[in-house]
Structure 1
Amino acid sequence: MSNFMEMTKSEFIKKTIMIVLGSFICALGINLFIIPSHLLSGGLSGIALIFQYILKIPAGYTILALNVPLFIISFIKINKKFTLFTGIGTIALSVSLIITDPLSKTLSPVPNSNMLLYCIYGGVLSGLGLGLVFTNQGSTGGMDIVSMLAKQKYDMELGTITFIINFIIVSIGSLLFNFEIGLYTLIVMYSTSLVMDKVIKGFSKQKMLLIITNKQDEVSNAVMNNLRRGMTVLYGEGAYTRDRKNVMYCVVSLRQLPKVKQLIKKIDEDAFISIIDTSEVQGKGFTSPF
């Protein structure tokens, strides 16, 4: 509760706007591509879609109804901050699904030749939306609450719980409709998780460099003056020779990588350079895309 109280009003408004925006984008993915294809999605949304296909009840209403008891349990068992942002995300997703429901009829029926495209685009939009929601400490409710409760009670990994739930949903969909629907749904889930992971970790690829050179000052000055990137010197020792070596640490953008290699090799052709992928960097000179 203290973390919630420490949040400023502007931070709360920003997170709320991003959660609502993410929920709306997710709803677009569902109504524009997933529902016209008669496919499913992960979590409670997948269950709501099964109800919509069989009973003709719009998914937005089902998601809202199924989440009410989960909110109460979450408020008591988990924490108020999680429940608040989950409530915002769930209401925003439900309302967005209801508002954008007419779009699900504009692209129906979907030709079999276009099914793969609809799977990919539906997954990409859903992943983008969910990524925005999760990046801002939100959730769309449902299975996120169930997963958190299961983790507390049975000490299971969240990823394992989510996989089990989604596997059950795909299995039910395959039995109720056909096996092909289940296979296409797996593509939707995969593309959703792939894009969501990219949004959460960041789209910009950064590279971490570890440099060992005898011309430390010249290299650091060249990098700092030409690329405006800071460098940190780590003190190490050769395992075989036991000689003291200075290891220079630096993070650059992908576009700057060719330039920094050129600068280092121009100063010291014998310099040892290790280049490592970095999924996310926070701090001066590296800003989040959202």
Structure 2
Amino acid sequence: MEKKILNMSKSEFVKKTIMIIVGSFVNALGVNLFIIPSKLLNGGLSGISLIIHYLFNLPVGLVLLVLNIPLFILSVLKTDKKFTTFSVIGTVALSLGLIILEPLSKIFHFSNDASRLLYCIYGGIISGLGLGIVFSNNGSTGGIDIISVIAKRKYNIDIGFASFIINFIIATAGSISFGIEVGLYTFIVMYVSSYFTDKVLKGFSTQKMLIIVSKKEKEVSEAIMKKINRGTTILYGEGAYSREKINIIYCIASPRQLPRIKQLVHQIDESAFISITDTSEVQGKGFVDIIGQ
């Protein structure tokens, strides 16, 4: 029987640890390559570490690690062992990444506001991708994540709201210390980073979910399966007003398949009702084919 580590198999623990380290280094790459050269800030404790770096020229990675030490102690006392372990791994990896990749901060130098905006966007993208990899493997980079989790558990404060308040304070501090432009650009970095973090967590491939209400549900369902090569599911419902029994077709398709499905449905039943919504992540048989089509 395979030995368990933090209620996980040893192989799963090793895999998550490796991915957290990779994600932390990707995050550090974005900070060193784009954010530091343009004298901008980031969210969380890394943002505070950057303020200290700009003011006193201290290594960002070392400052980040020192600032996290009291939070690690707090995490041990207030959260579970699994969260604390992966937070320590993520924070140490991010700190080492910031130190090791520090020479990259000398490669680019912004010359005008246009280049600063580009650095701001690309720094947010790369940092967000790195954080997404960390979070999707149950990890964190410490700091704001520890504070947010404790605030949620002890005071029932929404984690997203707690993170927003802390990041707002950091951006405001940046505005006071280095000018309003730095604060405004920092908000862009935070937004882009959070957007791409969310994309990694939910998946980049946005598929379409179709709800089709038709009295010819069998013909429509068979046509979609045979001509579009997409699976369908029949759901049984009832009209709220008429109390008439109705069958509802549920289907997931790619954006490219959408026009063909709509045309096919209306050819069979002109009075069919079709509702289409975005769905960010699809798992299960056939979902790989959807992405590829």
* TM value normalised by structure 1: 0.92
1:269 and 1:52 map into 2 onto residues whose CA distance is: 65
Aligned to 2:196: 195
Alpha-carbon distance in structure 1 between the residues aligned to 2:11 and 2:223 = 40
Q: 2:19 & 2:229 partners in 1: Cα distance? A: 31
> Does residue 24 of structure 1 match 2:25?
yes
Deviation, structure 1 residue 222: 2.1
| Alpha-carbon distance in structure 2 between the residues aligned to 1:34 and 1:189 | 11
Q: Contact 2:5/2:13 (CA < 8 Å) preserved in 1?
A: no
Name the CA distance, whole Å, in 1 between partners of 2:123 and 2:66. 24
Number of the residue aligned with 1:14: 15
CA distance change for structure 1 residues 238 and 64 in 2, over 3 Å: closer, same or farther?
same
Change (3 A) 1:4 1:234: farther
In 2 relative to 1, CA 227–75 (structure 1 residues): closer, same or farther, beyond 3 Å? farther
Rounded Cα–Cα distance in structure 2 between residues aligned with 1:235 and 1:209: 15
Structure 1 vs Structure 2 CA RMSD: 2.0
Stretch deviating more after TM superposition (87-96 or 6-15): 6-15
Structure 1 residues 285, 145: CA separation in 2 closer, same or farther (over 3 Å shift)? same
Aligned to 1:86: 87
In the alignment, is the contact (CA less than 8 A) between 1:29 and 1:126 conserved in 2? yes
Any residues of structure 2 matched to 1:45-194 within 5 Å, and which? 45-194=46-195
Larger CA deviation: 233-242 vs 245-254? 233-242
SS at match of 1:249: strand
Q: Is the 8 A contact 1:147 1:162 kept in 2?
A: yes
What letter corresponds to residue 245 of structure 1 in structure 2? I
State the 1:221 CA deviation.
Answer: 1.9
**CA apart distance, 1:65:** 1.3
Cross-structure match for 2:274: 273
Following TM superposition, by how much is the alpha carbon of 1:109 offset from its aligned partner in structure 2, in angstroms? 4.9
Alpha-carbon distance in structure 1 between the residues aligned to 2:138 and 2:230: 31
- The residue type paired with residue 285 of structure 1 is G
Q: Structure 2 regions of 5+ residues with no counterpart?
A: none
Residue 150 of structure 2 aligns with an amino acid whose one-letter code is L
Gaps spanning 5+ residues in structure 1: where?
none
Alignment partners' CA distance in 2, 1:152 and 1:21: 29
Shift of 1:152: 2.3
Q: Contact 1:26 / 1:128 at 8 angstroms: preserved in 2? A: yes
User: How far off its partner does 1:108 sit?
Assistant: 2.6
State the distance in 2 between where 1:255 and 1:203 align: 16
Note the C-alpha offset of 1:220.
1.8
What is the identity percentage for the equivalent residue pairs of Structure 1 and Structure 2?
60
TM-score by length of 2: 0.91
Distance 1:126 1:45 in 2: 11
1:98-149 CA-to-partner distances (Å, cap 9, x unmatched) read 1110011111354333111111111111111111111111100111101111
Aligned amino acid, residue 17 of structure 1: I
CA distance in 2, matches of 1:207, 1:75: 43
The aligned amino acid for 2:132 is G
Contact 1:36 1:105 in 2 (8 A): yes
Alignment of 1:218-237 (within 5 A): 218-237=219-238
> How many pairs does the alignment contain?
287
